[in-house]
Amino acid sequence: MGKKLGPRQQQASASSLVGTWKLRSFTLEYADTREKVEPFGAHPHGYLGYGPDGRMYAIIVHEYRGRPPEIPSDAEKILLFSGMGAYAGTYSVDGDIVRHHVDISWIETWTGTTQLRRFRIEGNLLHIQSPAAKDPLDGRISSAVLVWAKIR
């Protein structure tokens, strides 16, 4: 799941995660082809928050997520749903692994699960990588790499 971390990154802890982070990039790499894609566009929008109380949230939306009419059609609802991801819960840190204990999620199969993420912090950037797993939207095995910038 990635390269060995240097001494500066190994000092990262739960307290270094606390704050609000803005999404810079989101890339998926598929295990079968090594193809890399940007499922939410080249400039996705999103926020990730870690509180000192051990709570966390994440929300990501596609860069071109359109505004539907006041009452969206079923097709428009599907586009809105597939153009986002969101969950919240608690978190715990063990070395360079953060565990997201999901209480609520945009896709019910994640609710009640623990999502493991390897992380490293370089300056004001948080790099997070998921282990290879089945993508909840297309079923393919992939690993996600997200880069977040600290804003608070």
CATH number, domain at 58?
Answer: 2.40.128.490
Asked if residue 1 is part of any domain, the answer here is no
Q: What's the whole-model pTM score?
A: 0.84
Residue 34 contacts by C-beta under 8 Å, 6 or more apart in sequence? none
Pairing type for strands 114-122 and 97-105 reads antiparallel
Our count of domains for the chain comes to: 1
Cα–Cα nearest to 12, from 130, 90, 151, 127: 127
CA angle 38, 111, 125 (to 5 degrees): 40
Q: What is the pLDDT along the chain (152 residues), one digit of tens a residue?
A: 444 434 344 345 778 999 999 999 999 999 999 999 999 999 999 999 999 999 999 999 999 877 777 888 898 888 888 889 999 999 999 999 999 999 999 989 899 999 999 999 999 999 999 999 888 767 889 999 999 999 98
Structural domain boundaries enclosing 20: 7-150
Asked if residue 63 is part of any domain, the answer here is yes
